[in-house]
Every structure is written in C-alpha cells, then in structure tokens.
Amino acid sequence: MTVSNGPPGRASTVMCSIGALVPAAFMSIASANLFTRNIYKEYLRRDASEQEQTQVSKIVSLLVKAGALLFILLINPQFSINLQLLGGAIILQTLPSVMIGLYSRWLHRGALITGWAAGMIASIWTFYLTPDPALNEAHWGGTAFALSHLGLHTDVEIYIGFIGVVVNLLVSYGVTTALKALKTREGTDQTAPADYFTDVADRAPAAPAEPAVPTGA
C-alpha cells in the first residue's frame, strides 16, 4: 500500500533497497563467520565456546552492515559499483593457487604468492587507468581496460580480471621454474587428516553409553 500510493519514484526506491538488503545480509553473515572461525578462534581465542563465537559473529555482522551503509551514504554510488566490479577481478587472482592447486602441486608456494601479488597489482593498476565518463573522472572508471593505454592503435577493451589472471599465471609459472632451477625448498604440507573435520574436532566427544543392566541383576 505504501509503495503503490506513494509519490512517483518511491516504488523503485523501496524495491531497490530490498534488493540490496538481501545480498548485503548474506555477505555480512558470511564475513562474520569467516572472521570468527578463521581469525578470532584461530588466533585470538582458541578456547572460545560456541556461545562466544555466536556472539562475536553477531557483533561483526552488525559492524559490517553499518560499514556498508556508511559506504553507500558517503561515497558516490557509481564509484561503489565500480569497486564491486574490481572485487570480482581481485577474487579471480585466487585461481592459480586454489583451482590449479586441486589438480597439480607443481607450482611453488613462493611463486604462487608472487603471482597473486602481481595479479593484484595488475588488476588495480588497469582499474586505475580506466576513465569514468559518467563521473567525468580520469581514473577508477571501470573494469574494461582499453588496449590503447598500452600504445596499441585499437578500440578493443579487455576485462581487467583477465589481464590480472594472465599476469598471475605467467609470474607463477616463471618464478616456479626459476625456484626449481635453484633447488629452493618447497616446504612441507602440514595438513593433518583432522583439519578436514575441524567442526567435528571442536566438539567434545560424547560420553560412552553405559551398558544396560539386565532386569533382576
């Protein structure tokens, strides 16, 4: 009733707000769980109870929501959209270490970190060089990088995430080749079987059931 009887534009505003709140709620909960499980419990309070972890997650989730709200209110909406697009390019830089690592362990851990850093720098640098015609800004304009920035006489544009991944892979394989030629130690995989059942290991084992006493014993 409020949407249909309100002034023009209210319906779109309300629907957009609802559409934004749903993914924001999911992402804030995910961020809170990641912080609680991977930082708070792992490094700050290893003996934190489940009740304490739940409380910490609620607080962090609320802080993330408040930060997101301030971000939208204080920063130009178009720039916020561009930053979200940049986030996708940044996430892509985990491709060599995560996806390729599922099928091959040939890449050196030092090379993976170096490649990740190179891909991050390449993605952010190309994002910075892209102008934003909507805001009339010379930088931070989007994720479509024009090859003309490299001195090429063409109008072709490439996704900055793709450029970052290519740089990431080239550096990862190049540095791995160099480190293997130098016979640099690759380190030891210290993953234990219990690490795959961390949630189960956090719970105290159930007490063994007492044997039933026969009637009349």
Tens digit of pLDDT per residue, the chain (217 long)? 445 555 555 565 566 566 667 777 788 888 899 999 889 988 888 888 989 999 999 999 999 888 888 877 787 777 777 888 888 899 999 988 888 877 888 888 899 999 999 999 999 999 998 887 777 778 888 888 888 888 888 888 899 999 999 999 999 999 999 999 988 888 777 777 777 776 655 555 555 556 555 555 5
Contact (CB, 8 A) for 15 and 22: no
Place of tokens 């924001």: 24
CA 82 from chain centre, in angstroms, equals: 16
By C-alpha distance, which of 14, 24, 5 is closest to 67?
24
Burial of 162-180, coded b for 16+ CB within 10 Å and e otherwise, reads ebbbebbbebbbebbeebe
Q: What region, left, alpha or beta, does residue 140 occupy, with left being phi > 0 and alpha being psi -120 to 50 degrees?
A: left
Question: What residues contact residue 199 under an 8 Å CB cut-off, 6+ apart?
Answer: none
Burial of 36-63, coded b for 16+ CB within 10 Å and e otherwise, reads bbeebbeeeeeebeeeebeebbeebbee
Question: What residues contact residue 28 under an 8 Å CB cut-off, 6+ apart?
Answer: 61, 62, 64, 65, 68
pTM summary value: 0.68
